[in-house]
Every structure is written in structure tokens, then in C-alpha cells.
Amino acid sequence: MIELRHVGKKYGDAEPLKDVSVVINDGDVISVIGPSGTGKSTLLRCINLLERPTEGQIFVDGEEITAPRYDASRVRRRIGMVFQSFNLFGHLTVIENIMMAQVDLLGKSRQEAYDRGMELLSRVGLSDLALRYPDQLSGGQKQRAAIARTLAMDPEVILLDEPTSALDPTMVGEVQSVIRDLAGSGKTMMIVTHEMNFARAICSRVFYMDQGGICEDGPPEQIFDHPRKELTRRFIQRLKVLELAVEGREFDFPGAGTQIDQYCMKNGVSARIRYRIRLAFEELVQQILFPRIREPRIHVTLEYSESGERVEMTVLYNGEVFDPADSENELSYRVITGISSGVRHEAVSEGDYTNLFSISIR
């Protein structure tokens, strides 16, 4: 059990962590979510003393680890940390990376450290790559190796700070499945993540952090579906929405594709729907609207709906009143209606926008 009592952290005028009091029980799997710069990393770093809190106390199983004479390296053995950027040693092979701290800090023999290391590599699916150097691994493999290295210390608690956010989308799944496996094993974990569906799937508890504090603490159903605090509600709502503004013809379509991919990942939108969104966006904006509007100003909003797999795409655009159903480009229009469960056009008057077209994608 970890208990934080009025923990705070100040750097000069900045106060990234303010008066946090909370109890983390054995076996809790906690997702830490919240806007950027609200102290999520600072909270994790204070818990394993990578940063010393400037206020308050932290207890692990009743022992005060923030006491002046408490040995910080002992804390780091009990509370392991996995970073966004892996932090493997480049001059050591994967297995050496995993053996090192076991020999140096736990006093194991090289053979013992090797055996345990190989066992953990097999657990994260990397047995074949033990003799490679980090540079010879993909991002997902590096992160799995880093997780194995953390596990090699047999920590009681594992803290993970955005473990998949530096990864190419194709590798997120393999790392998430290792983490999911760990979460299922009863280990106490805290994970900072922006992937809400993943958080919901693995955690028993969510901390919504805002302004340096834990603004709301509750089970995932509460935080994601029925948040009690206004700040939480707004954050969750914002996540579900993606807005793209197309102004002029020099629009970065590949960039928009990446934003759509990230949005879908955060919300756990399936690959099939993600593909359909990209298709609808390109067919409508590039193929149908661009040829019709001389100076395009197009505003696209995507909103994910929790009830079943559905994304609503709402497109506002300028120019004369024009229903895409009347487009000469019948093929593109047919693609759009083919992947949607309904489309709707209406004339509007909202600033520069004169048309609204919405597409329900399932």
C-alpha cells in the first residue's frame, strides 16, 4: 500500500503538484489521465523518488520513504518505472540490459540474472532477440525489453509513463498486450496514458489530474461515462471530438490522416471505421468539394459515440448552396454513402459557412 499525504512539488514559482493525498492499494491498476502539464509525470516521479516532493510525505507499507535518511535506491527497487523513451543502454545487448541491475543491485550471480532475464524475455515475446543491441530493435520491441528490465527487479509496484506514446501506431498493440498481461497478474500498477479505451480495458481505477491535483478518482465507468466533476466531463468530451480546418487548397492531407489515426487510437475506434473516416474525408473534401469551391473553407468535426461503434462526421463549408448528392462525381458520392449509415445536407448560415453535410460512419 502506498499512501500520499499532502504531497506537493515546487520548482521555483512553478507548482506542478499540489497537496495530493491518496491511498493506492495493493493490486490497484490505476490509469492516470488529464491534460498536458497537469503533473501526471511529476506524480509518478515523486512516488519513486526520481523527484523529491517538496511538501508532504509518502509511505510504502507504513514506511516513510520521504524521510531524510531513507535509501532512495531501495525505493526504486520496490517501485519500478517504465518510460516513454525506453532508456535502454545502447552499448549493452538486450539480455545484458536486463541482467545488469539484478547483479549490481540485487546481488544475483550472472547465471541467476541470465536465467531470470531469459524467462522475462520469453514472457514479453523477445526470447529470440536477447543478443541484439537496442538499435537493432523496433520501438515496440525496445519498450517490451524495457518492461522486462523493470520486471527483473521484482518490483512490488510498476509505474508506466506514457509507455506507448513514442511508438509507431502499428506497434502500440504488442506493448499494450504485455501491459494488459501484467495488469491481469495482480501487480499494482499506475499508468499514464492517452489511450482511453486501453485505460478503460485494463484499469480498476482512474485518476483524472488537473491543475496539479487529482481532480477525480473513481472506477473507469464513473470517469469515462458519468464523470462527477465538470473539469473531468469537459476533458472526456474534448477527447471524443476531433476538429480539422481546411482553409485554402494547400491542405496537408497526409497530416490530417495522421490526426485521424491518433484520434481513433485514443478512442479505440476500430481499424475498419478509421479507414472509412479517412476515405469519407478524402472523397468529400478532395474529390467533391475542392472542384466546386474556389476558396475552400471547410470545417470537419468528428465525434465518437459510445453507444456502439459510430462516428459522426459533420462538415461545414462555404460557397454556393450545394448538396454533394448533386455532384458530377457520382463515384465519390457513392463511396461516401456506401460506407455510411446515413448522410444529410442542409443550407446553413454560420459565419462563412453556407452548407452542412453530415455522415454517420459505422
Ligand X SMILES: Nc1ncnc2c1ncn2[C@@H]1O[C@H](COP(=O)(O)OP(=O)(O)OP(=O)(O)O)[C@@H](O)[C@H]1O
Instruction: Tell me whether residue 20 or residue 293 sits nearer to ligand X (CB atom).
Output: 20
161 vs 203: CA distance, rounded Å: 15
Pick one of 36, 111, 307, 349: the residue that binds ligand X (CB under 6 A).
36
Q: How far apart, in Å, are the Cα atoms of 214 and each of 2, 124, 361?
A: 15, 32, 36
164 binding partner (options Mg ion, ligand X, none; Cβ < 5 to 8 Å by kind): none
213 binding partner (options Mg ion, ligand X, none; Cβ < 5 to 8 Å by kind): none
* Nearest distance from C-beta of residue 210 to ligand X, angstroms: 9
Q: How many C-beta atoms lie closer than 10 Å to residue 294's C-beta? A: 8
For the chain, what's the residue count?
Answer: 362
Pick one of 31, 38, 41, 355: the residue that binds Mg ion (CB under 5 A).
41
Q: How many C-beta atoms lie closer than 10 Å to residue 280's C-beta? A: 25
Query: Alpha carbon 92 to chain centroid distance?
Result: 29
Cβ neighbours of residue 188 under 8 Å, at least 6 residues apart?
2, 24, 25, 26, 27, 28, 29, 156, 157, 158
Instruction: Tell me whether residue 32 or residue 289 sits nearer to Mg ion (CB atom).
Output: 32
The DSSP output letter for 137 is S
The tally of CA atoms less than 13 A away on the side-chain side of residue 129 is 23
> Which residue in this structure is represented by grid cell 541491475?
101
* Nearest distance from C-beta of residue 40 to ligand X, angstroms: 3
* Nearest distance from C-beta of residue 212 to ligand X, angstroms: 7
107 vs 110: CA distance, rounded Å: 9
* Nearest distance from C-beta of residue 211 to ligand X, angstroms: 10
The reply to whether 31 sits near Mg ion by the rule CB under 5 A is no
Per CB under 6 A, the segment of 40-48, 115-123, 132-140, 312-320 that binds ligand X is 40-48
The reply to whether 38 sits near Mg ion by the rule CB under 5 A is no
* Nearest distance from C-beta of residue 17 to ligand X, angstroms: 7
The reply to whether 54 sits near ligand X by the rule CB under 6 A is no
Pick one of 7, 24, 33, 39: the residue that binds ligand X (CB under 6 A).
39
4 three-class SS:
strand
- Which residues of the shown chain bind ligand X in the complex (CB under 6 A)? 11, 14, 16, 36-42
